[in-house]
Amino acid sequence: MFSISKLFKSEPDPREARRPLWNAVVDAARAPHWYARGTVPDTLDGRFDMISLVMALVLHRIDEDPGQGIAGVQLTELFVNDMDGQMRQIGFGDMVVGKQVGRMMSALGGRLGAYRAADGSDELRGALVRNLWRGHEPSEAGLAHVMAQVAALRAALGEIPVSELIVADWLPGEAD
């Protein structure tokens, strides 16, 4: 028998399965050590840049298991939705939000390529300076901290099976 309630019942959004991981990406990117010891600017741009960095490292790890590719797509869609919401909350109108989110996606795409550079390499150093500090030379101690933490996070992510990572509600924290 057909029920009218079935007509209005919506299917759960499959992206929501990645919500805990998205929240973990944001939490990891907002960890105080990036801004205090790493000297990443604690601004809207700086926070976006840190989210993009952590997001890129997580997406790189997911890419290592081709069978989990949809999880990377879903995580990226949550990124887009969150950035859209943040832009609207700041006060950007409909006409501007789409363009800004497009720029953010382009920035994330560029960072996905740039952050594939080997840990400790001049290429990674250059990408971090260009993106996190917008080309302004950071303190050596701040840059060293960020480079060490990127290497530690990448290594820690490599230890987590992708099938577990995609449902995680945490990411490895600051390494000593």
Rounded-to-integer distance, Cα 72 and Cα 101, Å: 18
Single out the residue of 14, 5, 15, 48 nearest to residue 30, CA to CA. 48
What are the pLDDT tens digits along the chain (176 aa)? 555 555 556 677 888 999 999 999 999 999 999 999 999 999 989 999 999 999 999 999 999 999 999 999 999 999 988 877 676 676 677 667 777 777 888 889 999 999 999 999 999 999 999 999 999 999 999 999 999 999 999 999 999 999 999 999 999 988 76
Q: Look-up: residue for tokens 């945490």?
A: 170
The encoded tokens of residue 87 equal 């832009």
What's the confidence (pLDDT) of residue 9? 60
- Cβ atoms of 146 and 40 closer than 8 Å: yes
What's the confidence (pLDDT) of residue 133? 97
What's the confidence (pLDDT) of residue 60? 98
Q: Helix 122-132 crosses helix 44-63 at what angle (to 10 degrees)? A: 140
Quick: pLDDT tens for 14-40. 889 999 999 999 999 999 999 999 999
Buried b (16+ CB within 10 A) or exposed e, 10-47: eeeeebeebeebbbbbbebbebeebbebbbbbeeeebb
What's the confidence (pLDDT) of residue 134? 94
Domain boundaries, the chain: 15-165
pTM of the model: 0.88
CA–CA distances in Å: residue 134 to residues 24, 75, 126, 157, 160: 25, 25, 10, 26, 31
